[in-house]
A = this chain, B = another copy of it.
């Protein structure tokens, strides 16, 4: 520990202001994630009850390329964007498996993680 280690100094006003932006962005992210899963859940239901096409690897590759491009344009680390995509996909797979299990038991369709 150094002698000038910060203790309970007040948070600078600019940081407080920026925290307000962070809080707003986090709320928007959660609402968007909720909406994304609402949509993929509907797709999962459609696939579970109907004639379901198999996963489309071409679509996955297109999505990776597209999100990488958007990340580069926006200033987000493309590697992080890809990690984020995989994080979302893992949750979509979990939802898909739950939906398919409700509809068909062990006769699961191939997962299309991009719905």
Contact = CB atoms under 8 A, between A and B. Distances in A.
What is the total number of copies of this protein in its complex? 2
A40 B84 CA distance: 17
Interface in A10-27: 10-12, 14-15, 18-19, 21-23, 25-27
Given A6-B53, A10-B53, A39-B21, A30 B74 contact: yes
A115 B51 contact: no
B75 A9 contact: no
Q: Which 5 A-B pairs give the minimum distances between C-beta atoms? A: A34-B74, A34-B76, A25-B36, A30-B70, A9-B53
A50 to B, nearest CB: 7
A33 B84 contact: yes
Contact of A27 (B26, B70, B75): B70
Contacts of A42: 18
